[in-house]
Structure 1
Amino acid sequence: MAFLTGGRTGAGPAVAARPARRGGEHPALAVLAAAVAGFHLVKTAGLLANTRAFPVLAEPSIAGSPQLPAGVRGAGRPGRPRTSLLVPARDEAARLPHTLPGLLAQPADEILVLDDGSTDGTAEIVAGFADPRLKLLTGTPRPDGWIGKNWACHQLAAAATGELLVYLDADVTLRPGALDAVWAEFGRQRADVFSVFPRQQTGTVGERMLVPLIDENLLAFLPHQLLDLPIPAAAVANGQLLAFRRPAYRRLGGHAAVAGEIVEDLALARLARRSGLKLGLALGGDLVSTRMYDGYRSTVRGMGKSMRAAHGGSDVLLAASAAWHLAAYTVPWLRWHRGAAWRVAAMLGLAERVLGNAKTGRGAYAEAALVPFIAPAALPVYALALRRTAVWKGRRYR
């Protein structure tokens, strides 16, 4: 016994010789707690900054509507360009009856819908709407090396006659005044490329956990002021509503420049910034909304198809991201009694969801209670991305 206690009897001196741990926390876990709390402080600060700075579409008054740059003004419509609304549609028969009326309510010069090999009656739905501005196009077979949506968008651009090309996903709903608001904000930001993040509508618990992360991460990590600075890395866009001045689209090389990119909107945004074009962003507010998925399974499939590309195709980054989000959002609640840093991280995680929902106008503040479960719910998304093959609407991409 004397040997085990360093020549002394009794447990007191031996216990005192052990490294002290604050609150009983292992030093490595204490470092992790501090890192997680710091991450949440940065994220919350970004959300607070963008709560004030990030634009939200609002229908402008006629007198107060800003003018678009001279290069995009259309003849006979002062301050407004000739505008083409362009919709790539593949198996959208369930959505188009609800979203096409909103498009037809806009003062666009033409509305082109391209049927991209649908098997569900998409073409018949479009043909059933009587409006001389609405035209149904039939897509041609996809060439090798092209992602389906990119090929559809390429064909739409070739058929469009507008000076402003506004791409819209078939699940996007526009309320009256939405296009006026896009014109106004496009001009106010003096953009060459302009994207709107629609208000996300969600119906199931699985959607409510995962879908709002799109807006939350945008608002937390991209201060809108960076778009006015020559920082190419400050680039993001949302293909659900993505608009180009025609000269800017040509300068980028159009969708042909990103033919094989699954996350084509992000690729186009980065290309625009590298090309010196002005990128504009706004939230959809009350005027532009969407319901992307119809349940947890479709949410996992939809997010999984782009998750790998968003992590640079790296298995290591995907695994690290999954582990970090578990540590940042779930572990703090499991270690609530292990120190103030964990409690700070846990509460800020809730605050982030509340701030994001408030800024986007979603409300649904009770969703904050789901935050501890978000990271585990996202694990199937990561698992799907790790398979290295994305499947979407019957097409398989690697």
Structure 2
Amino acid sequence: MLALFIVIQLAFLVWVLFNSFCLPKLPSYSRRSSSPLISVLIPMRNEERNVAKVINNLKALTYQNFEVIILDDHSEDDTKQLLQQAIGSDNRFKVIDGKPLPQRWVGKVFACHQLALEANGDYFLFLDADVSIHENTLERTLRAFHLGTGLITGFPKYPVKNFFSHLLVPMQHFIVHFHLPIFIANNTKRPAFTAAHGAFMMFKRDAYEAIKGHYSVKNSLVEDIHIAREVKKTGYYVRLMNISDSVSCFMYESNKEVWAGFSKNIFPGLGKSKALALLLSTFYFAIFLLPFLIFIGGLFSSSPFLSSIPFLLVLAQKCIVDIFTKQASWNFLLFPLSVIATILVLFYSMFLQFSKRGFSWKGRTYS
């Protein structure tokens, strides 16, 4: 039995390593002969803590031909005033007020829809307000648009501050590297093989308009994945890239925000399928937690090193992903706790769905 565990974990280790190498980085920086207009589109709702940082970050970009449109989505704090103060007289920036949220729309999706209607660019880059990008990111992302590519996206580097962030936020990278056949995802138009992150999504305008933009996913709580699938359905490629050297996302300030954010996304991300959620939980327990239990039991056996091998191979899988995505060098040591936290938040997300409490985020609740 132990030998079987070792073989399984070795196979998964090879798979994760191969998958990680298949995830391309953004091309290196070089000057372009043409400079199409890029519309940087940012929805904001109660983002006063991020306003100055994101505006100063965008002002430092080296790409010359871009506009920034920011939508204030009925913020109840000082977001609007701080935006005006941070922007000053820079005419590359424009702030618009969000319209009332219509029925059957998700707040962020409707905000992105309104932003796109105001955009003039040949490319639309949707950013979250808690994102920082390297000064040459626009040039490098443009170079990544190969023939037929409609969307480029990726999972940023996650600087984390609190306990739940350390457990759950880097798991986004691991889930992609472990579950998604990245080579197939990037080189075919099959919607089933798709991943995306809404914090950084650059569309070719033609591809965005071909799917009717965010209107096509107006009631989705995981609009990033669903809109990427729509792009593939219309005949464009979606390229998932390793953007962790260029894009950082400071997702959550508190443990409470981490829990609420993942509770909102994780069960809807599985299509609200109870069977899939139970299957995934069982799989994670058997593949990632059982080796840890065998390791603990082996400490009291006659062959503690042999009993530790499956668990060490599990840790190695997480360590590889953390290295490729520039997470903290010690984060992989928390992996058993990360798996437990993932299972718990998944079951809580299911509870919110089936108890009819709905998913709450930024003062709004969605069923």
Is 1:314 matched up with 2:273?
yes
Please state how far the C-alpha of 1:328 moved relative to its aligned partner: 2.4
Please state how far the C-alpha of 1:315 moved relative to its aligned partner: 2.5
Tell me: CA distance 1:334–1:292, structure 2 relative to 1, closer, same or farther (3 Å).
same
Moved more, 82-91 or 210-219: 210-219
Is 1:383 matched up with 2:347?
yes
Q: How far apart, CA to CA, are the structure 1 residues paired with 2:125 and 2:56?
A: 16
Tell me: CA distance 1:223–1:119, structure 2 relative to 1, closer, same or farther (3 Å).
same
Tell me: CA distance 1:208–1:82, structure 2 relative to 1, closer, same or farther (3 Å).
same
Three-state SS of the structure 2 residue aligned to 1:304 is: helix
5 Å-filtered alignment, 1:156-171, equals: 156-171=115-130
Three-state SS of the structure 2 residue aligned to 1:114 is: strand
Verify the 8 A CA contact 1:206 1:299 in the aligned structure 2. Answer: yes
Q: How far apart, CA to CA, are the structure 2 residues paired with 1:261 and 1:169?
A: 17
Q: What corresponds to 1:300 in structure 2?
A: 259
188, 196, 209: which one pairs with 2:167?
209
Q: How far apart, CA to CA, are the structure 2 residues paired with 1:286 and 1:314?
A: 35
Three-state SS of the structure 2 residue aligned to 1:186 is: coil
Is 1:357 matched up with 2:316?
no
Three-state SS of the structure 1 residue aligned to 2:94 is: strand
5 Å-filtered alignment, 1:208-357, equals: 208-226=166-184, 227-336=186-295, 337=298, 343-357=308-322
Please state how far the C-alpha of 1:42 moved relative to its aligned partner: 4.5
Q: Which whole-Å deviations, capped at 9, do the CAs of 1:86-132 have from their partners, x for residues lacking one?
A: 00111111112112211222234210000011101111111112211
Verify the 8 A CA contact 2:43 2:129 in the aligned structure 1. Answer: yes
Three-state SS of the structure 2 residue aligned to 1:137 is: strand
Q: Which amino acid aligns with 1:361?
A: K
Q: How far apart, CA to CA, are the structure 1 residues paired with 2:95 and 2:224?
A: 24
Q: How far apart, CA to CA, are the structure 2 residues paired with 1:379 and 1:370?
A: 15
State the superposition RMSD in angstroms: 2.3
Listed as ranges, the gaps of 5+ residues in structure 1 are 1-29, 66-77
Q: Which amino acid aligns with 1:116?
A: D
Q: How far apart, CA to CA, are the structure 2 residues paired with 1:200 and 1:133?
A: 28
Verify the 8 A CA contact 1:43 1:221 in the aligned structure 2. Answer: no
Q: How far apart, CA to CA, are the structure 2 residues paired with 1:211 and 1:265?
A: 17
Please state how far the C-alpha of 1:181 moved relative to its aligned partner: 1.4
Please state how far the C-alpha of 1:255 moved relative to its aligned partner: 0.4
Moved more, 133-142 or 264-273: 264-273
Q: Which whole-Å deviations, capped at 9, do the CAs of 1:49-88 have from their partners, x for residues lacking one?
A: 13333112354123xx6xxxxxxxxxxxx43321100001
Is 1:50 matched up with 2:15?
no
Q: Which amino acid aligns with 1:83?
A: I
Listed as ranges, the gaps of 5+ residues in structure 2 are none
Q: How far apart, CA to CA, are the structure 2 residues paired with 1:211 and 1:39?
A: 26
Moved more, 283-292 or 311-320: 311-320
Please state how far the C-alpha of 1:393 moved relative to its aligned partner: 0.6
83, 91, 100: which one pairs with 1:126?
83
Q: How far apart, CA to CA, are the structure 1 residues paired with 2:171 and 2:212?
A: 31
Is 1:84 matched up with 2:53?
no
Q: Which amino acid aligns with 2:123?
A: L
Please state how far the C-alpha of 1:341 moved relative to its aligned partner: 9.0
Question: Number of residues paired by the alignment?
Answer: 351
